[in-house]
Chain A
Amino acid sequence: MRIAVRRFQDADAEAVDRLNRRLEKAGCEHRVYKEDLSRNPDADLNVRPINDALFVAVDGNEIRGASWLREQYFWAYDTRHRIGWMKYPVAESLVDPRYAGVPGSMILQLLRHQPILMALGMGGHSAPFARLLAGIGWKSSSIPFLFRVSRPFHVCRQLLYARRRALLRAVMDLAAWSGAAWVANHLHHAACRRAMSAREVNVTVEHSFTPWADRIWEGCRSAYHALAVRDARTLDHLYPRSFPCLDRLRVARRGSDIGWACAQMLPENQNIATYFGTLRVGIITDALALPDDASVVLATAVRHLEQIGADLVVTYLSHAAWLGAARRLAFLTGPSNLAFYQSPRAEKLLLDDGTLATRCHLTRSDCDGPYNLYDT
């Protein structure tokens, strides 16, 4: 069984269907979703700023695995670099041990196509694919998960993730009904009141990023060691007008644009209910401003989400300035399952001096985001 990894072709459709049937028959929940090749057959970043292409592992007439490769531009060292994200890898090894070698072969062959390759999420560091990446020596870290409690009573009563153990459940109920949670949260927020101030800040909800976001991009990009290109064209591709429930917040101070944030309420689905119960959870999926203005932009997004009813506001941020801003705004750090892996070439580009991702501005919208929020 010699496996060749190449771009999906229309003629592979039936073999992909057969793979999906084998996965389904064996009780595996993962599937390979076929690419619509008419959208951008050449994967040209001049045609579309972000390209998603399906690569398949071919074994004769059968497909034994597949992975999406998202390619886009990153801004690092004041230069644009074409990079790749590996998304939704699936292999027959999940259901048949004869194909144990397929995922490893797939990764190594994808690296030939795009050596600056990264992966984000994957269900955490203990998931098979993440362990595989660690096995081939990719550098790993976790993108910090931050949360801010807006309605402590509801959070104590509904946050299923924290209520799994009986003792913790009892403590949270006591904190909720006695008012202790409200008092503690109120005191914590009071200490952060100055950072939350909206003085001289103006926010508008926009339908698109064109053309105003280009000025922000050009003014901010050099302040970061590395980040995904977030010019207006890329943003309008990433967050099209049709994208559900997303608010594009344009933040200005004294009449000048200083940044933007994308905020939304998490959809009600089974996956999200497993963690948050019936809580109304707002997420800041993405944001950009100069590091010094991170507090102002984050505070704006928090206020917006609270106004539309969030009990809890969550976000994932990697850059030190944004983490500091979040802490000044009463965000707390929770356990993160957002594993971040980089190939050796990506590591060299992003983190040449061995520091963690704290100088790179990564958010939940990188890799497969923000569509991951809509998986059920």
Chain B
Amino acid sequence: MSVDERLRQVLADVFGVKAEDVKEDASPHTIAAWDSVAHLSLVFALEAEFSIQFEAEDIPELNSFRAIHERVAELERVNR
């Protein structure tokens, strides 16, 4: 599975939506269930799925599909 597909699946699992409904522009504005509690669950789910660790300061930056994609890709590159 590509990073894109894995990301969609994580977001879908956390927010309780279908993976195909997680679009490129997904954000707290387009997904109603994306509140502060779900946001933290998303962070932990991403860390588990990609074996990465976000810095506490970076957590608020992960507020859209694109931003998450960029940050995950960056951390994966560092880990390699």
Bound together, the chains give a CA A224 to CA B3 distance in angstroms of 53
**B contact residues around A112 at 8 Å (CB):** 56
Mark interface residues in A43-75 (1 if CB within 8 Å of B CB, else 0): 000000000000000010000100000000000
Structural contact, B59 and A98, CB atoms closer than 8 A = no
B40's partner among A3, A5, A91, A104 (CB-CB below 8 A) is A104
- Asked if B2 is at the interface of the complex by the 8 Å CB criterion, the answer is no
Structural contact, B56 and A109, CB atoms closer than 8 A = yes
Mark interface residues in A254-280 (1 if CB within 8 Å of B CB, else 0): 000000000000000000000000000
Structural contact, B60 and A3, CB atoms closer than 8 A = yes
**B contact residues around A104 at 8 Å (CB):** 36, 39-40, 43, 59
Structural contact, B36 and A101, CB atoms closer than 8 A = yes
**A contact residues around B57 at 8 Å (CB):** 2-4, 105, 109
**B contact residues around A131 at 8 Å (CB):** 37
Given contacts A97-B28, A97-B29, whether A102 and B60 have CB atoms under 8 Å apart is: yes
| Chain A minimum-CB-distance residue to B29 | A97
- Asked if A166 is at the interface of the complex by the 8 Å CB criterion, the answer is no
Bound together, the chains give a CA A5 to CA B34 distance in angstroms of 22
| Chain B minimum-CB-distance residue to A104 | B40
- Asked if A103 is at the interface of the complex by the 8 Å CB criterion, the answer is yes
Structural contact, B63 and A128, CB atoms closer than 8 A = no
User: Count the A residues whose beta carbon is within 8 Å of the partner chain — how many?
Assistant: 26
Size class of the B contact interface (CB-based, 8 Å): 20 to 34
Distance (whole angstroms) from the CB of A91 to the closest CB of chain B: 7
Q: What are 22 A-B residue pairs whose CB atoms fall within 8 Å in the complex?
A: A2-B57, A2-B58, A2-B60, A3-B59, A5-B56, A59-B60, A93-B39, A98-B27, A98-B29, A100-B35, A100-B36, A100-B60, A101-B60, A101-B61, A102-B36, A103-B40, A104-B43, A128-B35, A128-B37, A131-B37, A135-B37, A135-B44
| Chain B minimum-CB-distance residue to A132 | B37
Distance (whole angstroms) from the CB of A253 to the closest CB of chain B: 50
Given contacts A97-B29, A100-B34, A108-B56, whether A1 and B40 have CB atoms under 8 Å apart is: no
- Asked if A136 is at the interface of the complex by the 8 Å CB criterion, the answer is yes
Given contacts A97-B28, A100-B28, A104-B43, whether A1 and B37 have CB atoms under 8 Å apart is: no
Task: List residues 31-66 of chain B with CB under 8 A from any CB of chain A.
Answer: 34-41, 43-44, 56-63
Bound together, the chains give a CA A98 to CA B61 distance in angstroms of 9
**B contact residues around A101 at 8 Å (CB):** 36, 39-40, 43, 59-63
Mark interface residues in A1-41 (1 if CB within 8 Å of B CB, else 0): 11111000000000000000000000000000000000000
Distance (whole angstroms) from the CB of B47 to the closest CB of chain A: 12
> Lowest 9 A-B CB distances belong to which pairs?
A97-B28, A101-B60, A108-B56, A104-B40, A100-B39, A105-B59, A101-B59, A93-B36, A103-B36
Structural contact, B34 and A1, CB atoms closer than 8 A = no
Bound together, the chains give a CA A2 to CA B29 distance in angstroms of 19
**B contact residues around A128 at 8 Å (CB):** 35-37
Bound together, the chains give a CA A260 to CA B50 distance in angstroms of 55
Given contacts A98-B63, A100-B63, A132-B40, whether A105 and B56 have CB atoms under 8 Å apart is: yes
Q: Given known contacts A135-B37, A135-B44, what 12 new A-B pairs fall within 8 Å (CB)?
A: A2-B60, A2-B61, A91-B36, A97-B29, A98-B28, A100-B28, A100-B34, A100-B38, A100-B63, A104-B36, A104-B43, A128-B35
